Structure 1
């Protein structure tokens, strides 16, 4: 192993104030784009491309990647405090993060999110570094058959998030799958449920759907309830920093879960086409599935914050691998990043393994440093953020609703998404009011489109025999084990644990 080739770029960044300064500057910018619902890392890259035009290729690439790497760290702030996802993948954080804020543990949830994001980002970068020699054949072995079964595997997690009523969870999940079918058929190009509306040709906006499903109902409920988001009044301000530090320690108390979800998130990120939404929900489902007390999830379990936040940041390291070496974007954000790289004079592709490893290692270390340094930036701000849950709802509701409508519009620059936001918000309100779980809808919406596209391609290439491919058999076994584990757990659970339901 050539340690000089690996650690030389790290030393170069640390001893070059210009590069280190760009990383430090990129961190609060990335957090801002993550914390404002509807903006996200993709828009951040687009808006910052003019500023890096003409820069040194390494400096420009380091700046954009560092900014994009910490977007989800900022996205956890509105998810936890207001139940409004900063970005699509942050929706999974709401399920347990928002209930923690409601019971006066916003600081702890923010601390757990911060620690998990930093830990996941560093692990994701290290995963990429260690797997460079062996991951190429694994990534290339994934075909539409494996994509379909991986999406199906994620859909089985609906059972884990259904609470006391499996029927309700499956019904809401299938509603999400039906909504994912809106748009142009990916193979024939014919319109499906678009009502001749151009903005529906690309399907229902996930950002608008998630904002409507979570933000609108929570603000309506807060307006009806009155008071503040936190249901625990009178928390002394001096405890907030202690809560944040306790949340960071929670990441290391659950170190095995943190490592598993970080590696799983990075592995999912390395598979082109799945994206961050799939990574966060799959890792959240894994946390529920592998827990000895799954009934605690959905009620404010800190592990429900750690799992998706670890995955959100670690998947960036994984998605960088196909982006750089194959020129195939590992996520939608990386697709825009490829364009920025080309503009800077960096041409992704297999040749980079021969001529550009210095650049690759520089980007890996920039990714790790950005996530590590973001801990200290966030740590300074988290106690102030955590106090927002004690502000009166009458002051917060207009602000949050404006953010929600702005996010729905900015996601695709379509005013019709604001109308959709209201419609899905009404649906979300009644789901919340009558105790129907909402997370299965998001799982169905995100994974339904992946499953549909993949099964068409798999059937066209192999026919029904794609189920007999070696990797396909592995995923089928995992799906059967997941269903079996759920049935066994329900059968062996005591009556008290069967009374669980997820209120988010």
Structure 2
């Protein structure tokens, strides 16, 4: 295996393949920079160009792009409070407040360093898991996948700060919006009101952009002034890197979470950053998440790049896409004359190992390139909001419209955007709504498949029981920690008086 890996390294280092990898990195950063686009869109744009290409060249282009999309999407998430892709939503929670405090460079320095570490960790995990992947993937059937979605939904209350009830209600509202369209278990449509557009449901990019971006634009117009409230840039790139090294265990733990979530087909990158953020929120001491805590940037950014390495395991070895991006990657394999499955471990093993090397190199070079761009791009936070909003509005409308190329996307964008603005004014948490929306169909689908196939016997599965215990520990542990914190604050207040 080691000898084969060294042979694959020599193949990857060929000048032509390195050139295509850098082309993919450049495209990936651009896709991440533009709000509303995603790895799926970038992959779709590249797919026609890989037809008939040498597999090593084609994979260098595709993996180079995929590896850095979740690095480039940090720019709009931190500077503008708008998710560059669905995998950068949690970064907004603390990254945007840091930008408001004039610490955009510090936040992005930490983000890119953690993205690099997470991406390299994901590549190493892909290499190490190749021999053991089959029994691991086959252990997860519909009951286990259902419990994993429940684990994701349990984060709704945890991410609501001091109002877990509001978080639960917000998550349920997300489930309701996610259930619009065709039901996965029965042949009927729900909440479509006779609209052909709603019969296929509401798309994730539209919801993600509207719930976060729309309120930010209104706020920027009404408040006026610059994003950075103090009118200066503080905390440089190296400070962010130092913060990451100081919290090295958080970086590694979040990268592990990202890799494990990536292993599970269908769970997707829209959840991994929230899982890592929620885990960090409950385990990091003396945190002030949501108000500009650098650790709230470190956790999700370490996880979302690590997820890519994990998601390639079921994609390459079983032909089961771990996300929308890897689903298109399967089409790219076919166009290049490859077939996902056991052959990727035998006949096409050099291609598989070249993917590992490309993933590692692309994450390193992509992060370094983004670090070079931090200083000039950070100056966007110094531009008055009313000058940025018209440009952003064009990008967001295009980003929303490209989901289905339907006018319905724009109507939904405005409606859910107004809902997001109302939630902002009333101090209701928005992340739980997005989590509920993302997991709605998966939860329902896996639940019905489990019932139809196993009855209620699936509740006795060891993995299901373990996941149920983890969920209970998260929920009860979070409640106990909040009560303990309140009691400490009360006692402290009494002493100070």
The answer to whether the 8 A contact 1:268-1:318 is kept is: yes
| Aligned-partner Cα distance in 2 for 1:440–1:170 | 7
Deviations 1:68-119 (A, max 9, x none): 1111111111111111111112111111111111111111111121111111
Matches within 5 A, 1:47-446: 47-235=45-233, 243-294=236-287, 296-446=288-438
| Aligned-partner Cα distance in 2 for 1:336–1:201 | 24
Pick the aligned partner of 1:458 from 450, 455, 471.
450
The answer to whether the 8 A contact 2:119-2:360 is kept is: yes
SS in 2 for 1:21: helix
| Aligned-partner Cα distance in 1 for 2:286–2:415 | 35
| Aligned-partner Cα distance in 2 for 1:40–1:190 | 30
Once the two structures are TM-superposed, the CA of residue 336 in structure 1 deviates from its matched residue by: 0.6
The residue number in structure 1 matching 2:494 is none
SS in 2 for 1:233: coil
The residue number in structure 2 matching 1:11 is 10
Tell me the TM-score normalised to structure 1 length: 0.94
The answer to whether the 8 A contact 2:18-2:60 is kept is: no
Q: Give the number of aligned pairs.
A: 490
User: Runs ≥4 in structure 1, deviation > 6 angstroms?
Assistant: none
| Aligned-partner Cα distance in 1 for 2:79–2:232 | 17
The answer to whether the 8 A contact 2:110-2:244 is kept is: yes
The answer to whether the 8 A contact 1:80-1:110 is kept is: yes
The answer to whether the 8 A contact 1:79-1:93 is kept is: yes
| Aligned-partner Cα distance in 2 for 1:245–1:43 | 33
* Gap runs ≥5 in structure 2: 491-497
Deviations 1:166-204 (A, max 9, x none): 221111111111111111011213100012222222322
**Most deviating of 162-171 and 122-131:** 162-171
Once the two structures are TM-superposed, the CA of residue 45 in structure 1 deviates from its matched residue by: 1.7
Question: Is 1:485 the counterpart of 2:480 in the alignment?
Answer: no
Once the two structures are TM-superposed, the CA of residue 449 in structure 1 deviates from its matched residue by: 2.1
The answer to whether the 8 A contact 1:93-1:309 is kept is: yes
Once the two structures are TM-superposed, the CA of residue 250 in structure 1 deviates from its matched residue by: 2.0
RMSD: 1.5
Once the two structures are TM-superposed, the CA of residue 497 in structure 1 deviates from its matched residue by: 5.9
| Aligned-partner Cα distance in 1 for 2:424–2:214 | 11
| Aligned-partner Cα distance in 2 for 1:54–1:60 | 9
Once the two structures are TM-superposed, the CA of residue 247 in structure 1 deviates from its matched residue by: 1.4
The residue number in structure 2 matching 1:502 is none
The answer to whether the 8 A contact 1:28-1:377 is kept is: no
| Aligned-partner Cα distance in 2 for 1:411–1:109 | 30
Once the two structures are TM-superposed, the CA of residue 496 in structure 1 deviates from its matched residue by: 7.7
SS in 1 for 2:90: helix
SS in 1 for 2:228: coil
Once the two structures are TM-superposed, the CA of residue 120 in structure 1 deviates from its matched residue by: 0.8
